[in-house]
Chains A and B, each alone.
Chain A
Amino acid sequence: MIKLENVSKAYSAGIPALNDVSLHIETGEFVFVVGDSGSGKSTLIKLLLKELEPTSGSIVINGQRLGNIRHRDVPKFRRNLGVVFQDFRLLKDRNVYENVAFAQRAIGKSAKSMRRKVPTVLSMVGLAAKYKSYPRQISGGEQQRVAIARALVNEPKILLADEPTGNLDTHNAWDIMKLLEEINQRGTTVLVVTHNLDIVKTMKKRVITMKKGVVVSDEQAGGGNED
Chain B
Amino acid sequence: MRISTFLYTLRQGAKNIWKNKMFSLASIATMSACIFLFGVFYSVVVNFQSVVKEVESGVAVTVFFVDGATQEQIDEVGTQISKRAEVSKKVFVSAEQAWDEFQKVYFEGSEEMAEGFTNDNPLVNSSHYEVYMNDISMQESLVTYLESLNGVKEVKSSDIAANTLTDFNRLIGYVSAGIILILLCVAVFLISNTVTIGIAVRREEIAIMKLIGATDYFVRAPFIVEGILIGIIGSALPLTVLYFMYRRIIFYVAEKFRWLSSMLEFLPVDKVFATLIPVGLILGVGIGFLGSRMTIRKHLKV
**Chain A residues within 8 Å of B, Cβ to Cβ:** 49, 51, 72, 75-79, 81, 83, 89, 91, 102-103, 105-108, 110-111, 150, 154
Contacts and interface: CB of A to CB of B under 8 A. Distances in A.
B2 A106 contact: no
B241 interface: no
Given A49-B211, A78-B211, A72 B5 contact: no
B8 A105 contact: yes
Most buried by A among B4, B8, B207: B4
Contact of A103 (B5, B8, B212): B212
Given A108-B2, A110-B2, A83 B218 contact: no
A96 to B, nearest CB: 15
A110 B4 contact: yes
Contacts, number: 51
B44 interface: no
The 9 nearest A-B residue pairs measured at CB = A106-B214, A79-B213, A78-B213, A75-B213, A111-B4, A106-B212, A103-B212, A75-B215, A106-B209
A32 B205 CA distance: 28
A76 B4 contact: no
Nearest to B12: A105
B213 A107 contact: yes
Contacts of B260: none
B5 A108 contact: yes
A51 B210 CA distance: 9
B216 interface: yes
Contacts of A154: 212-213
11 contacts: A78-B210, A79-B212, A91-B204, A91-B208, A105-B4, A106-B209, A107-B215, A108-B1, A111-B4, A150-B212, A154-B213
Given A108-B2, A110-B2, A111-B4, A89 B216 contact: no
Contacts of A107: 212-215, 218
Contacts of A49: 211
Most buried by B among A77, A89, A108, A111: A108
Most buried by A among B8, B208, B215: B208
Contact of A91 (B8, B205, B215): B205
A78 B212 contact: yes
Contacts of B5: 105, 108
A103 B214 CA distance: 8
Contacts of B208: 89, 91, 102
